[in-house]
Amino acid sequence: MTSPVISRRLLLAAGASITFLGGGAYADETLNRRKLVVVICRGGMDGLSVSPPIGDPDYANLRGSIAIPASAALKLDDTFALHPSLTTVHRLALAGQARIAPAIASPDRARSHFEAQDVLESGASKVYGVSSGFLNRTLASLAPQRKVAGLSVGATAPLILRGKAPAGSWSPGAEANDLPRLPGLLTDLYAGDPMLAAALAQGLQTEAMAASAEQGQMAGGGMTPGLGRAALASSRKLGTTLAGFMTQPNGPQIAAISLDGFDTHANQNNALPPRLAGMDALLDGLSSGLGDEWKNTVVVCATEFGRTAKVNGTGGTDHGTGSTALVLGGALKKGGIIGDWPTLKQQALFENRDTAPTLDMRGLFKGVLADHMGVDRRALEGDVFPDSAGAAPVVGLV
Amino acid sequence: MAYPPKDMMAAIAVTRFGLGARPGELETLQGDPQGWLKAQIRKEGADPIPNDGASSVKRLTEFAAYRRERRAAKADGEAALGAARLLRDDVGEDFVARARLGATTPAGFRERWALFWANHFTASATKLITAVVVGPYENEAIRPHVFGRFGDLLIASASHPAMLTYLDQFQSVGPDSPGAQFAARRQNRTAGLNENLAREILELHTVGVDGGYSQADVTEFARAMTGWSIGGPREPQRQGQFVFRAATHEPGSRTIMGRRYDQDGVDQAAAVMADLAAHPATARHVCGKIARHFVADDPPAALTDRLVAAWTASRGDLAVVANTLITANEAWDPTPAKFKTPYEFLISGWRAIGGQPTSAQYLAPLLTGMGQRPFAAPSPKGWADDAVTWCAPDAVIKRMSWAEGFAAVVAQDRDPNRIAAEALGARLSPQTAKAVARAESRPEALALLLMSPEFQRR
């Protein structure tokens, strides 16, 4: 175990890292308290719904029936607002503790979930470039200076934390999947198969009856669509539990958690709000659970790609490119949007269809890891994000 | 009816006749799907379950020791329970070894053919004495004979301790035999005729329920079979083996389905079985089952006719029948009509990812939940062979939960689009391919593939 004194000396000896460490980062005591949580929003989260550019003249027209009305959106500035479900994020944003990066993307352009998630989590410049995750390599690069523990939440370790450096994992059990997607997807897949369709429908109905019987609900009582109060409570609890882990002595300083269900090809007005409300509840639980430690924390919510700028024929959106990342935390400096807004003008769209990315996801993480977590520049440019010279670190976030 | 294109034939060969494709397997048979199937037919039979050569003799000797201890230590119920658990563990090991064989074998058709016959001649693990030898039964009585003569397979099964205990034959005593008279003097009320095995051989294994036999034929056959038993604990030289007990054999001639059997001793029932094996109703009954198992719940009559003709001409040569099945064009309809049993479903899932099950503790509750408790068919009729049974709502939900959990663990490093292409080949529908490609995570994609209509069918 490296003593604080030695590790500080090593840090100073690293030289280059000094200029890269943001304000206040030169005290080991502070570094040891720094926390980073990465929330991976799987499925391709629709940036134009997370942070609707209600002031962009093309927004309402492109989005049609799924445009977030200005009257309901939670206003951030003249151009941007937040989705009505993101009340916690909005409260934090007003306090200068949440910012948006509205046109961000990983270097992948294939619009395939698996590939794009791989690239996002591995930190590689292309798919199958690296087989470990960039947060794991971050732990490894910090190891010679100080021991930083990592934790992933979920039954299996996500790629972002997989690799040589040991990292813990914790699974909240049955509560985690309050909105299973598989039954709906299978119902669609069985459309031309009466035998399987009937068996599945009947089986699901029985399951639902059993579940409501177990919960002591009244038979025949109407279910409200969207994320129920119980599901919201469990998302919030997930946040407070994670915070509980991170505030323990020697608890994890780096954590990753996955949220799924963002692949909203159809009926987005119903499909997306519960997902965003779940994320918001998680962030509420996390920020309140961290208490005093919130001031030492940065949270990044990122997705593998955004969605088409234009609404599709089924009230949803298809796989796109640029999306919104949320950056939150008490450690954050006040500021406007992160990166530039390319606008939604037809000629500004990427391949005539998607929000054009103006910021490389790796640049955002490089900035956070350097300034907030004290990862030195050589490690960032070498092991952590290989071949990322083109993605300049976003400076001045903390 | 013509054969479908080669790539479709390859996909059918490996899924309908086999247990599903392992990664890369489809490519290897693309050129000659029927040749790939034919090459799996071999005189020496199917591959044995790799269970360290555990024999019926060994298992039944252990079982006898367990019984002895239980009797001796009546007060100590715990110890007896523990011993019973150990025996049950052996059965679980046999089962998982068979599942591993299924998941890894390059000869999927040979394995399916063996599973068909093991089910046709069901010895179910519903009582412990039978359970401990169900695995060895397949290895000793079924698998060596599945490409031999049906008559040999019938006798091997009927004379095996698993069948003799399962259907109570080993205790059947001819009413006029010296053994019965001896038992009567000792007032042993259990000594008497038991018709169970004789009836099931007629009804299930050979001519079938409409095969033209009467109750009198059943009783006469049961009398002929008396004496077919197994060596007990007091006979160390032949414990756990088939023995013929002349002392309990009903003396005299028997008449069964119009034929008279004057043989004495063990040959009498063997002669009856040889005639039953050669009976035209048997060919019709068993070939109908083969067609139903491999091709459709309601198979084309032309296919059954073809199998019956091959069976009759070859006098029940199962290698010839197998060959006829895989060359019959009626068996190659591109529309899959069979819904996989839970066992077939799970094994094909492991094959699709190139894996194999590791423990009975994992496998047994799964299969039980889906309605197919390991080695424990509900009756001598064996497992049902129709979609109505296996596509029940609760079972489909259980399949879905399994697929979700399985995929969450195994899908991380794999490309689901590739798994879909390699598992189903030309059978992969555009709808499923699209659902897999559009899934938002690898686990979701793999679960969708496993639960797709075409993966659940064969």
In the prediction, which pLDDT does A11 show?
38
Cβ atoms < 10 Å from Cβ of A37: 28
Better-scored residue on pLDDT, B383 or A113: B383
Look up residue B144 and give its two tokens: 């060596």
Better-scored residue on pLDDT, A25 or B71: B71
How distant is the Cα of B116 from the closest Cα of chain A, in angstroms? 25
**Among residues A160, A191, A216, which one ends one of the domains?**
A216
Q: Please indicate, yes or no, whether residues A106 and A231 belong to a single structural domain of this protein.
A: yes
Residue boundaries of the structural domains of chain B: 56-278, 342-456
Inside any domain, residue A123? yes
Tell me which DSSP letter residue B457 carries. B
Q: Which of A153-162, A229-238, B315-324, B395-404 tops mean pLDDT?
A: B315-324
Q: Is the pLDDT of residue A14 over 60?
A: no
Residue of A200, A205, A265, A312 for testing the chain B interface, max B β-carbons within 10 Å: A200
Q: Where are the alpha helices (DSSP H) in B138-245?
A: 150-158, 161-166, 178-185, 196-200, 215-225
User: Tokens 């993480």 appear where?
Assistant: A365
pLDDT band, very low/low/confident/very high, at A15 (cuts 50, 70, 90): very low
* Across A215-229, A231-245, B226-240, least confident range: A215-229
Inside any domain, residue A74? yes
Under a CB-based contact definition with an 8 Å cutoff, are residues A199 and B393 in contact? yes
Average pLDDT in the A307-330 region? Answer: 93
Minimum-distance CB partner of A196 among B391, B416, B448: B391
What ipTM goes with this model? 0.90
> CA-CA distance, B273 to B256, in Å (whole number)?
11
Mean pLDDT of chain B: 94
Q: Please indicate, yes or no, whether residues A298 and A200 belong to a single structural domain of this protein.
A: no
Q: Please indicate, yes or no, whether residues A173 and A184 belong to a single structural domain of this protein.
A: no
Look up residue A240 and give its two tokens: 């407070």
Give residue ranges of B with CB < 8 Å to any A CB: 339, 387, 391-397, 400, 403-404, 408-409, 412, 415-416, 431-432, 435, 437-442, 444-445, 447-448, 451-453, 456
Q: Please indicate, yes or no, whether residues A121 and A265 belong to a single structural domain of this protein.
A: yes
Under a CB-based contact definition with an 8 Å cutoff, are residues A223 and A233 in contact? no
Q: Please indicate, yes or no, whether residues A298 and A255 belong to a single structural domain of this protein.
A: yes
In the prediction, which pLDDT does B454 show?
98
CA distances from B63 to A125, A351, B72 (A): 63, 73, 14
Residues β-bridged to residue A323: A104
Q: Is the pLDDT of residue A176 over 60?
A: no
CA B437, B439, B440, B445: dihedral to nearest 10 degrees? -100
In the prediction, which pLDDT does A25 show?
43
Q: pLDDT digits over B38-60, tens only?
A: 999 999 999 999 988 899 999 99
CA distances from B93 to B52, B121, B341, B364 (A): 10, 21, 21, 11
Q: Please indicate, yes or no, whether residues A309 and A354 belong to a single structural domain of this protein.
A: yes
In the prediction, which pLDDT does A4 show?
35
Contacts B448 to A, Cβ<8 Å: 182, 185-186, 189
Contacts A195 to B, Cβ<8 Å: 339, 387, 391
In the prediction, which pLDDT does B399 show?
95
- Contact between chains at A181 and B391 (C-beta distance less than 8 A): no
Q: Is the pLDDT of residue A2 over 50?
A: no
In the prediction, which pLDDT does B111 show?
98
Q: Please indicate, yes or no, whether residues A196 and A174 belong to a single structural domain of this protein.
A: no
Q: Please indicate, yes or no, whether residues A135 and A60 belong to a single structural domain of this protein.
A: yes
Under a CB-based contact definition with an 8 Å cutoff, are residues A138 and A384 in contact? yes
Q: Is the pLDDT of residue A20 over 50?
A: no
pTM: 0.75
Q: What amino acid occupies position A326? A: L
- Contact between chains at A199 and B453 (C-beta distance less than 8 A): no
Contacts A180 to B, Cβ<8 Å: 404
> CA-CA distance, A317 to A309, in Å (whole number)?
8
Question: Quick one: what percent of chain A has pLDDT higher than 90?
Answer: 63
How distant is the Cα of B410 from the closest Cα of chain A, in angstroms? 10
* Residue spans of beta strands (DSSP E) within B191-277: 228-230, 242-244, 254-256, 259-261
DSSP string, A91-106: HHHHTT-EEEEEEEE-
Average pLDDT in the B403-419 region? Answer: 91
In the prediction, which pLDDT does A5 show?
36
> Which residues constitute the domain of residue A54?
14-178+227-384
Average pLDDT in the B248-260 region? Answer: 97
Q: Is the pLDDT of residue A8 over 60?
A: no
Q: pLDDT digits over A350-385, tens only?
A: 999 999 999 999 999 999 999 999 999 999 999 999
Q: Please indicate, yes or no, whether residues A75 and A202 belong to a single structural domain of this protein.
A: no
> CA-CA distance, B114 to B101, in Å (whole number)?
12
In the prediction, which pLDDT does A21 show?
42
Q: Please indicate, yes or no, whether residues A199 and A257 belong to a single structural domain of this protein.
A: no
CATH number, residue A353: 3.40.720
In the prediction, which pLDDT does A221 show?
32
Give residue ranges of A with CB < 8 Å to any B CB: 42-44, 112-114, 117, 155-156, 159, 180-183, 185-186, 188-190, 192-193, 195-196, 198-204, 206-207, 260-263, 265
In the prediction, which pLDDT does A214 show?
56
pLDDT band, very low/low/confident/very high, at B233 (cuts 50, 70, 90): confident
Residue B355 phi/psi, 5-degree rounding, is -115, -170
In the prediction, which pLDDT does B243 show?
97
> CA-CA distance, B352 to B19, in Å (whole number)?
10
Q: Please indicate, yes or no, whether residues A65 and A126 belong to a single structural domain of this protein.
A: yes
Minimum-distance CB partner of B397 among A181, A192, A207: A207
Contacts A173 to B, Cβ<8 Å: none
Residue of A186, A258, A259, A307 for testing the chain B interface, max B β-carbons within 10 Å: A186
In the prediction, which pLDDT does A155 show?
63
Inside any domain, residue A247? yes
Q: Is the pLDDT of residue A177 over 70?
A: no
In the prediction, which pLDDT does A156 show?
65
Q: Is the pLDDT of residue A131 over 90?
A: no
Counting the structural domains of chain A, the total is 2
- Contact between chains at A190 and B453 (C-beta distance less than 8 A): yes
Return the residue of A nearest to B416 by Cα: A114
How distant is the Cα of A385 from the closest Cα of chain B, in angstroms? 20
What is Dmax (Cα atoms) for chain B? 78
Look up residue A248 and give its two tokens: 């323990």
Cβ atoms < 10 Å from Cβ of B328: 21
Q: Please indicate, yes or no, whether residues A199 and A169 belong to a single structural domain of this protein.
A: no
pLDDT band, very low/low/confident/very high, at B76 (cuts 50, 70, 90): low
Inside any domain, residue A122? yes
Return the residue of B nearest to A261 by Cα: B440
Average pLDDT in the A210-220 region? Answer: 51
Inside any domain, residue A9? no
